[in-house]
Amino acid sequence: MYAKLFTQILESTIWTESLETKILWITMLAKADQEGLVNCTVPGLAKLAGISVKQCEDGLKKFRSPDKYSRTKESEGRRIADAEEGWILLNYTKYRGLASAERKRELTRLRVEKHRGERKGVTQVKRKCNDSRYASASASDQSNIKVAEIVFEHWKETFGKSSRFKLDDKRKKLIVARSRDGFSADDLCQAISNAKNDNFLMGREPGKPTVYDKLSTLIKSAEQVERLMGLRTAQAVRKPNGVTPIQPAKSGRSPAQFAAELERERIESGQ
């Protein structure tokens, strides 16, 4: 998982607290699952944040307490509530929804832009390349490039890829190819997110610890995207010790054939 930080945090009362308290809050944001649950013990959370157990306990006490200066009036400004597994971040789903709404607006803008571009035909545009040359492209091509950027950044955020991963021509062509197959940016992002629920791809199968999270694996074909999108309506089952992910959807290939194909790709790419 990942959490987006809103710039408003710099103006919130949390930013007036001690350095250790601020670090603890950001650590809890990063640790939380999609429902805002931070599943951890106090010593474990203190270790993750790089602070003492006492500093961690003091910070948690502040987060549980009312804050009359908080801009969020729900729960009297409290930030967390105790849960059986750890703590719940009270406003997590609210801000997560805001982030999703912003992304949906951007995708809608791209669809409208692409539609207008196709109606107007080919438009000559200038795009400065790394070698300082200019190339002409259609408005549709520009939309495809934007879609590639959105999908690539979503993949990096979903699997925690560092900044050293670049949107090179190979990855760009792969995303554009799936776009031309009829998949929207939202479809591709959904398939990438759903890959987290595939036990085999995530290395959760007994005796098969290898994780196959390369972009070239997750959206290598229309069949693969359709398979991962098929996980969309399935639900994970929460158990006392955590979440048991759903099983991957069936494809036309046998599990052995699918495993052999992914292993061959891993060896060839040196993953």
pLDDT digit string, tens, across residues 76-85:
889 999 998 8
pLDDT tens for 142-162 read 788 889 999 999 999 999 888
Give the pLDDT of residue 5.
67
Identify which has the larger pLDDT, 121 or 106.
106
Set out the domains of the chain in order of their start, with CATH numbers.
Answer: 7-90 (1.10.10), 94-269 (no CATH)
Beta bridge partners of 89: 80
- Cα distances from 93 to residues 67, 90, 100, 252, in angstroms, run 20, 8, 10, 37
Q: What is the pLDDT of residue 136?
A: 45
Between 92 and 187, the more confident residue is 187
User: CA-to-CA distance for 71 and 141, rounded, in angstroms?
Assistant: 43
* pLDDT recorded at residue 26: 94
pLDDT reported for residue 134: 44
Contact 127, 134 (CB under 8 A): yes
Most confident of the following: 4-8, 98-102, 121-125? 4-8
**Is a pLDDT exceeding 70 seen at residue 195?**
yes
Percentage helix, strand, coil, to 5, in the chain? 55, 10, 35
Burial class (CB in 10 A: 0-12, 13-18, 19+), 148: buried
Computed over every residue of the chain, the mean pLDDT equals 78
Whether residue 127 has pLDDT greater than 90: no
Confidence (pLDDT) at 235? 39
168-171, Cβ contacts within 8 angstroms, sequence gap of 24 or more: 170/216, 171/215, 171/216
Q: One-letter amino acid identity for 55?
A: Q
Please state which of the ranges 72-81, 158-167, 204-213, 245-254 shows the lowest mean pLDDT: 245-254
- Band of residue 241 on the pLDDT scale cut at 50, 70, 90: very low
Check residues 267 and 207 and name the one with the higher pLDDT: 207
Q: Which residues contact 175 (CB under 8 A, 6 or more apart)?
A: 144, 147, 148, 151, 152, 188, 215, 219
User: Model confidence over 25-69: pLDDT tens digits?
Assistant: 999 999 998 888 999 999 999 999 999 999 999 999 999 999 888
How many other C-beta atoms can be found within 10 angstroms of the C-beta atom of residue 147?
25
pLDDT at residue 258, rounded to an integer:
59
